[in-house]
Chain A
Amino acid sequence: MAGNTEHRDLYKGAMIRPDLLLHPTPKGLYCPPGDFYIDPVRGAVDRAVVTHGHADHARAGHGAVLATPETLAIMDARYGEEFTISRQPVEYGETVEINGVTVWMSPAGHVLGSAQVVVEWKGLRMVCTGDYKRRRDPTCRQFEPVPDTHVFISEATFGLPVFKHPDTDGEIRKLLDSVAMFPERTHLVGVYALGKAQRVIKLLREAGYNETLYIHGALEKLCKLYEDHGIALGPLETATLETSERGAQERFRGKIVLGPPSSFHDKWGRRFPDPLPCFASGWMSVRQRAKQSGVELPLIISDHADWDELTDTVREVDPEELWITHGREDALVRWAELEGRKARPLRLVGYEDESID
């Protein structure tokens, strides 16, 4: 009897149940046979597999870190070279064995170096997307779905049907139109330092904007890192002022300044003449969110999949089972239920929303 039950739990071609290969723990998603964590969220672990360089996924202090070379370079730039004892760079598509478990990376399209982690053992294939998006992004490799996935572990940052990001080029156009309409104001564009900043800059260049862009100091290192990886960002200058120079701030009139959104509320933000606060984020589709953060020009540009992209991706990958993590898990679970798909919310804590600050 017991044997029969077990047999029914197994997916085609797999000799084990998914839980034995990966399961949620307070420290993050853990792989017992491989003895590693994917994007561990709490404290240092002996071995981490990291999907991408955002701080809530890539933390410093682990014994060993396996990630793409770009992600390792980003962690190095952010935390210094001692961020881990042992680095294991893995190119997209290259396979490695960790205690008999096969691990490889497939592009996630989220930021430079971002990857889906594919974990295989005893015929079972599980894919953890990390954060991902499906739209074109000139600063990173496009998302590539992994075929024959048994368990697809999807992020759900924008996992509500209200999140439908409009066409990105239109949002860039909105910014350029506003710059043309208010030539006396400084457009302060809130962007995350990793990924969003470089993507918005690159999109502005593609739209024909060739003037110098001014950036907050917090963006410099990562912009340079992107350029070193062959992503040309055009003329950039740090938005600093020689305080002795009277009227120096006048040179920012009609210009675009990019910085982390939180910087606009501190003293740094006050130097610009007649600033027009903008924010490039998927959250901007909810008007109340924009209002709450004092944004006058919301730009709906996201590095995450929106609702349609999340659900389309699940249909495309068509896994036996869907696991959902960090974000609005319940709505995606409900959707899966309506589609007749098996779904499970992981309720991992520690990943942040792409937050306002």
Chain B
Amino acid sequence: MQAFSDLLERLILTASRNTKIELMVNYFRQTPNPARGWTLAVLTGELDIPGVKGGSIRRLIEDRVDPELFRMSYDYVGDLAETVSLMWPGTRGANRIPPIDDVIEALLGATRAEGERLVAGWLDMLEPPQRWALIKMVTGGLRIGVSARLAKVALAEMGGVEPAEIEEIWHGLAPPYESLFDWLDGNAEKPSPDIKAPFRPVMLAHPLVTKDKRDDPDAVDPAMIDPDIFAAEWKYDGIRVQAVSERGVRRIYTRTGDDISHTFPDVLAAMEFEAAIDGELLIRAPNGEVAPFNELQQRLNRKTVTKKQMEARPAMIRAYDILVEGDEDLRTLPFSERRKRLETFVQKSSSERIDLSPLVPVTNLEALEAARNKPPAPEIEGLMLKRWDSVYQAGRPTGPWYKWKRDPFLIDAVMMYAQRGHGRRSSFYSDFTFGVWREGEDGDEITPVGKAYFGFTDEELKQLDKFVRENTIDRFGPVRSVKASKEKGLVLEVAFEGLQRSPRHKSGLAMRFPRINRIRWDKPSAEADRLETLEKMLPADPLSDKG
């Protein structure tokens, strides 16, 4: 537990990606099996300790300290594991540190009651840093700035292999990954688990930057945007998935290889084919069109899904590419060939849950740019450009594919409320609710239209924090209400990807991906935008217009 807790502590305090990788590589090199394998399972979120959850930890601490003092402490610290590790009434000097493999193996074989008792016993023995690591480990959700992907990159570096090689076999492996480490140590062959319907590492695109816009060696020459070189498709606002159905096994993976099949049994049932398809998972609206992302959101992150949910929000896949058909791996074929195979494939499939992503005609850059900003449906984020000769490569190669998102919408809004951030931002007011003007009973009034956190430089964060502290007119718990009148107020330029009607919001509107683009210290608050401006940006209601 000591080496594990030191690793977590250093990872959380290190900002540099490369240093994080170095720390993990060193740890994996210096730590024997199976301890390092269990650590890897923790880092990649693959470890599920049944029984002991955040709720158990809460119960344990509330049995030991005053719940009111716990609430105040948690409110200040903002992280359950950290709060409990610091507050736990331990016995000083009783520090005996069990190794991580003993801890995990004991927990995996324990019932819930036993698990809680074990955890409580260890918390009594440990000092705060190890307590924190233990709680993080048993409850999952580390939030230490290391993704499963980064852990795999570190593994790849340790073994001198490509990360894609690890991703390809990952689903056939299980903690504590001894065969994987033996291979990476050079002491054994690469494990070849018999995975049915495996995940194939996904091909991703770079954002399009054209040579006339930026002096970037990877920028695209506008002359290259030619129908003989590039194909174009719409980029839909759903989630990118890989649907695989082979030898009687069907799986739906996210683009990072997470298996989300259980969340979409309706799509799974429709996968009557032997192939691996790359596409966008979308919800079909009653009128047959693509429903807004919000609808898809309602179906994500569910362990189980009810019949009612599936009927109200039927899921479908819009196919972009075909990677495997029957026994034939198509990834080495050029996109032009794969596209033909895909068209035939979708035609043959009689399911209404799988359709084809249409091509967008390519003439030149200007025409495409116009199309990009006027897509046929609001649920389109922009364009994808794919070279006709591109093979399907894992990762994000430069050159073959580009994504070209539509420009965000921009409005000037006035800051209304500020809330302290969490974690790194827990001492700064960094989450803001903003509003626009509208006509009220007594003249113009301000109505909230969205909330976003500010993610720019620390310097600007400090200035904003100062503004909030100096212009507070009221406080409600962690929230401060700030001056927002025509005479005094701070204008924030807000960028967002889309707008929807929402009866749940006071303004009747909901923004998608709002973020603060710029602080307009120069702009008088009276000149911020009005609600009417936003209403004009609303897409036509698909139900009333086309239904």
A binds B: yes
A residues with a Cβ closer than 8 A to B are 160-164, 166, 285-292, 294-298, 328, 330-331, 334-335, 338, 356
**Interface contact B13-A296, CB-CB below 8 Å:** yes
Q: Interface centre among A160, A162, A292, A330, by most B CB within 10 Å? A: A162
Instruction: Flag the segment in B62-70, B108-116, B199-207, B265-273 that touches A.
Output: B62-70
Which residues of A have CB within 8 Å of B425? 292
Which residues of B have CB within 8 Å of A166? 127-128
Name the CB-closest residue of B to A162. Answer: B86
**Interface contact B78-A330, CB-CB below 8 Å:** no
**Interface contact B427-A356, CB-CB below 8 Å:** yes
Q: Give the Cβ gap from A350 to chain B, nearest Cβ, in Å.
A: 13
**Interface contact B423-A291, CB-CB below 8 Å:** yes
- Whether A287 contacts B9 in the complex (CB less than 8 A), given A163-B86, A164-B86, comes out as yes
**Interface contact B72-A328, CB-CB below 8 Å:** yes
Q: Give the Cβ gap from B39 to chain A, nearest Cβ, in Å.
A: 19
Q: Interface centre among B12, B77, B79, by most A CB within 10 Å? A: B77
Which residues of A have CB within 8 Å of B65? 161
Contact mask for chain B residues 114-139; partner A; CB cutoff 8 A; 1 contact, 0 none: 00000000000001100010000000
**Interface contact A292-B427, CB-CB below 8 Å:** yes
**Interface contact B14-A286, CB-CB below 8 Å:** no
**Interface contact A160-B423, CB-CB below 8 Å:** no
Q: How many residues of chain B are within 8 Å of chain A by beta carbon?
A: 28
**Interface contact B77-A288, CB-CB below 8 Å:** yes
> B213 at interface (Cβ–Cβ under 8 A)?
no
**Interface contact A162-B426, CB-CB below 8 Å:** no
30 A-B interface contacts by CB (under 8 A)? A160-B72, A160-B73, A161-B69, A162-B73, A162-B82, A162-B83, A162-B87, A166-B127, A166-B128, A285-B86, A285-B128, A286-B77, A287-B9, A287-B12, A287-B82, A288-B77, A288-B82, A289-B427, A290-B13, A291-B12, A291-B424, A292-B425, A292-B426, A294-B15, A295-B13, A296-B13, A298-B13, A328-B72, A335-B69, A356-B427
**Interface contact B427-A334, CB-CB below 8 Å:** no
**Interface contact A287-B69, CB-CB below 8 Å:** no
Name the CB-closest residue of B to A294. Answer: B15
- Whether A162 contacts B423 in the complex (CB less than 8 A), given A285-B128, A286-B82, comes out as no
CA distance A291 to B82 in the complex (A): 13
Contact of B424 among A164, A285, A292 (CB under 8 A): A292
Q: Give the Cβ gap from A314 to chain B, nearest Cβ, in Å.
A: 15
CA distance A334 to B65 in the complex (A): 12
Q: Give the Cβ gap from B66 to chain A, nearest Cβ, in Å.
A: 6
Contact of A162 among B9, B13, B76, B424 (CB under 8 A): B76
* B interface majority secondary structure: helix
Contact of A288 among B14, B73, B426 (CB under 8 A): B426
Which residues of B have CB within 8 Å of A335? 66, 69
Which residues of B have CB within 8 Å of A334? 66, 68-69, 72
**Interface contact B72-A289, CB-CB below 8 Å:** no
**Interface contact A331-B73, CB-CB below 8 Å:** yes
Q: Give the Cβ gap from B13 to chain A, nearest Cβ, in Å.
A: 5
**Interface contact B423-A288, CB-CB below 8 Å:** yes
Which residues of B have CB within 8 Å of A291? 12-13, 423-424
Q: Give the Cβ gap from A321 to chain B, nearest Cβ, in Å.
A: 21
CA distance A338 to B426 in the complex (A): 28
Q: Give the Cβ gap from A315 to chain B, nearest Cβ, in Å.
A: 16
Given A160-B76, A288-B78, A292-B427, 19 new contacts (CB under 8 A): A160-B72, A160-B73, A161-B87, A162-B82, A162-B83, A286-B76, A286-B77, A287-B9, A287-B12, A291-B12, A291-B13, A291-B424, A296-B13, A296-B14, A331-B69, A331-B72, A334-B66, A334-B69, A335-B66
Which residues of A have CB within 8 Å of B79? 287-288
Q: Give the Cβ gap from A307 to chain B, nearest Cβ, in Å.
A: 9
Which residues of A have CB within 8 Å of B86? 161-164, 285-286
Q: Give the Cβ gap from B133 to chain A, nearest Cβ, in Å.
A: 11
Q: Give the Cβ gap from B23 to chain A, nearest Cβ, in Å.
A: 11
CA distance A330 to B71 in the complex (A): 11
Contact of A330 among B15, B72, B127, B426 (CB under 8 A): B72
Which residues of A have CB within 8 Å of B82? 162, 286-288
Q: Give the Cβ gap from B5 to chain A, nearest Cβ, in Å.
A: 11
Q: Give the Cβ gap from A287 to chain B, nearest Cβ, in Å.
A: 6
CA distance A133 to B86 in the complex (A): 19
Which residues of B have CB within 8 Å of A290? 13
Which residues of A have CB within 8 Å of B9? 287
**Interface contact A287-B13, CB-CB below 8 Å:** yes
**Interface contact A328-B66, CB-CB below 8 Å:** no
**Interface contact A338-B13, CB-CB below 8 Å:** no
State which residues 1-50 of B face A: CB under 8 Å.
Answer: 9, 12-15
Q: Interface centre among A291, A297, A334, A335, by most B CB within 10 Å? A: A291
Which residues of B have CB within 8 Å of A356? 427
Which residues of B have CB within 8 Å of A286? 76-77, 82, 86
Which residues of A have CB within 8 Å of B427? 289, 292, 356
| A-B pairs, 6 with minimum CB distance | A162-B86, A292-B424, A162-B73, A331-B72, A161-B87, A288-B423
CA distance A286 to B54 in the complex (A): 19
Q: Give the Cβ gap from A217 to chain B, nearest Cβ, in Å.
A: 23
**Interface contact B66-A338, CB-CB below 8 Å:** yes
Which residues of A have CB within 8 Å of B69? 160-161, 331, 334-335
